[in-house]
């Protein structure tokens, strides 16, 4: 009963897709109160664990308020702030409360509507002494036009989300892209096409071609309507390797960098997708395209990597749904979770042992990519007017933080780095005036 009463008291802060100064004023009111409240408290382990919305604000607007408050508080040294929000739907926040036992303070938020005013109440609850120990209420008047903007479902905060950092036209049938970091911290890039791998270096913020690996594939060749393939670079100690696999031949190529040149050294009976660790062992993980198709069969294969190189004899497999797209959340190289889109365009969320987990945000898509264990990018599944979505997947959540309309179809997504900034490569097929154009974009997180 005590907690129920608290919830009726909770907080309110105005949000807007309005001028930035209004947003900042409201966020600073909430974060300023919490910062001041916790400044004299040592090792304050806290999190926002409940949000209710009784205002005209949209779910996404409320979620943006939460993100902005969190961003302003997470740098406070004595405050150990956990981000437990999974998503905000139906005027209510859904939280990952499995870590609630680590907290000693809980924060509740409540949004209300008072004629032309949006109010936000903030309640701090002490888990230790089981009572409310702090309360703050703020509100701001908004105009009718502003109120309409507040309810919009468009994403407007480039500072909270992703932004396009570069764009260039590319040739037809670009299958994949990978980067390699040199000893001077400069990056080189490899573009994978069916008949060659082209190496580029960055000069004056542009890509300049410096090498080419011509590809001759072993038989059998499979007829295909659309070329698909994956490129992977990885290091084993001081030795750099590269693999290239496709949907039009049965074996992937393995290259080794020797004497300042790439040399083909072996073949692999599946398409390598990622180098990762499971239970302390390093594996080359991958799948097998169905012959000539644009999807993979119902298994992931794991080939151990040891001091003697790849151990083909002790490879094993895990059964999973057949899939169009898959990627792995890693901390370092340690596998955390698996993200997959099946043949019905349904998104799946799997544990490190490849067991299905109920997805926090059940949704459909066509292509996805994961950046470490932090960010997930996903496309819609439209061929004319696609959409690009970015999710925050830290702490086991999946919060939609930014989306953007794409003119055309997203062919593939790939996590990467451009000019020192982490983000995602997006390859887009579009048609204008009867001509097909392929555009490669890089989207980076504005605040890193």
What tens digit of pLDDT does each residue of 210-244 get? 899 999 998 888 999 899 999 999 988 888 999 99
Element (H, E) at 436: strand 435-445
Among 69-83, 114-128, 426-440, the range scoring the smallest mean pLDDT is 114-128
Closest CA to 232 of 306, 345, 333: 333
Q: At what angle do helices 59-73 and 20-38 cross, to 10 degrees?
A: 50
Averaged pLDDT score across all residues of the chain: 83
pLDDT score at 343: 95
Q: Say yes or no to pLDDT of 2 above 60.
A: no
Judged on CB neighbours under 10 Å (0-12, 13-18, 19+), 369 is buried
Please enumerate, as own/partner, the contacts of 55-59 that have beta carbons within 8 Å and a separation of 24 or more. 55/12, 55/111, 55/112, 55/113, 55/118, 55/119, 56/113, 56/118, 56/147, 56/150, 56/151, 57/15, 57/111, 57/118, 57/150, 57/151, 58/150, 58/151, 58/152, 58/153, 59/88, 59/89, 59/90, 59/91
**Cα–Cα dist 23/36, whole Å:** 20
- Asked whether 80 and 24 are in contact (CB, 8 A), the reply is no
How does DSSP classify residue 345? Answer: S
Which residues make Cβ contacts (< 8 Å) with residue 382, sequence separation at least 6? 409
Class (C level, CATH) for 162-445:
mainly beta
For tokens 């994403």, name the residue.
155
Instruction: Report pLDDT digits (tens) over 80-105.
Output: 888 898 888 777 888 888 888 888 88
For tokens 């979505």, name the residue.
389
Question: Cα separations (Å) of 76 from 68, 70, 105, 190?
Answer: 14, 11, 15, 41
In the structure encoding, which two tokens stand for residue 316, read together? 């094993």
pLDDT score at 421: 87
Residues 396-408 have a mean pLDDT of 82
In percent, how much of the chain has pLDDT > 70?
85
**Cα–Cα dist 162/442, whole Å:** 10
Instruction: Report pLDDT digits (tens) over 271-306.
Output: 999 999 998 899 999 999 999 999 999 999 999 998
Closest CA to 48 of 18, 79, 23, 17: 79
Binned at pLDDT 50, 70 and 90, residue 109 comes out as confident
- Asked whether 169 and 437 are in contact (CB, 8 A), the reply is yes
Domain boundaries, the chain: 2-150, 162-445
pLDDT score at 42: 78
Residues 124-148 have a mean pLDDT of 67
In the structure encoding, which two tokens stand for residue 351, read together? 């544990």
pLDDT score at 297: 96
Binned at pLDDT 50, 70 and 90, residue 79 comes out as confident
Name the superfamily (CATH) of residues 2-150: ABC-type transport auxiliary lipoprotein component (3.40.50.10610)
- Asked whether 418 and 443 are in contact (CB, 8 A), the reply is no
- Asked whether 410 and 428 are in contact (CB, 8 A), the reply is yes
pLDDT score at 138: 74
pTM: 0.67
pLDDT score at 4: 36
Closest CA to 302 of 275, 326, 323: 275
**Cα–Cα dist 433/263, whole Å:** 43
């Amino acid at each position: 009963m005590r907690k129920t009463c608290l919830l009726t008291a909770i907080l309110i802060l105005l949000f807007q897709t309005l001028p930035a100064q209004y947003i900042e004023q409201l966020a600073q009111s909430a974060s300023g109160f919490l910062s001041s409240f916790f400044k004299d408290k040592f090792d304050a382990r806290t999190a926002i664990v409940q949000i209710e919305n009784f205002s005209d604000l949209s779910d996404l607007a409320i979620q943006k308020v939460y993100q902005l408050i969190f961003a302003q508080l997470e740098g406070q040294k004595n405050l150990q702030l956990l981000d437990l929000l999974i998503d905000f739907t139906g005027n209510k926040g859904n939280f990952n409360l499995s870590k609630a036992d680590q907290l000693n303070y809980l924060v509740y938020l409540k949004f209300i509507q008072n004629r032309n005013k949006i109010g936000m109440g903030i309640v701090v609850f002490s888990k230790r002494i089981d009572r409310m120990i702090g309360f703050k209420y703020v509100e701001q008047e908004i105009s009718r036009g502003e109120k309409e903007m507040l309810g919009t479902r468009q994403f407007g905060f480039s500072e909270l989300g992703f932004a396009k950092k570069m764009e260039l036209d590319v040739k037809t049938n670009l299958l994949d892209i990978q980067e390699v970091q040199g000893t001077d911290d400069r990056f080189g890039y490899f573009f994978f096409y069916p008949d060659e791998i082209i190496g580029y270096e960055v000069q004056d913020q542009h890509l300049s071609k410096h090498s080419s690996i011509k590809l001759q594939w072993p038989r059998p060749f499979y007829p295909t309507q659309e070329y698909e393939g994956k490129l992977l670079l990885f290091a084993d100690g001081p030795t750099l390797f590269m693999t290239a696999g496709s949907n039009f031949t049965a074996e992937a190529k393995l290259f080794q960098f020797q004497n300042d040149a790439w040399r083909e050294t072996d073949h692999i009976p599946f398409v390598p997708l990622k180098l990762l660790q499971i239970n302390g062992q390093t594996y080359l993980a991958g799948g097998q395209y169905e012959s000539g198709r644009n999807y993979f069969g119902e298994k992931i294969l794991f080939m151990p990597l040891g001091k003697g190189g790849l151990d083909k004899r002790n490879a094993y497999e895990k059964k999973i749904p057949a899939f169009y797209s898959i990627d792995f959340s890693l901390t370092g190289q340690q596998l955390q979770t698996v993200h997959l889109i099946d043949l019905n365009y349904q998104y799946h969320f799997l544990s490190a042992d490849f067991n299905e987990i109920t997805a926090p945000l059940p949704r459909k898509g066509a292509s996805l990519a994961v950046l470490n264990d932090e960010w997930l990018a996903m496309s819609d599944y439209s061929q004319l007017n696609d959409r690009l979505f970015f999710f925050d997947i830290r702490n086991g959540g999946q919060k939609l933080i930014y989306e953007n309309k794409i003119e055309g179809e997203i062919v593939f997504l790939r996590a990467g780095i451009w000019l020192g900034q982490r983000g995602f490569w997006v390859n887009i097929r579009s048609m204008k005036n009867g001509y097909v154009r392929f555009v490669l974009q890089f989207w980076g997180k504005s605040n890193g």
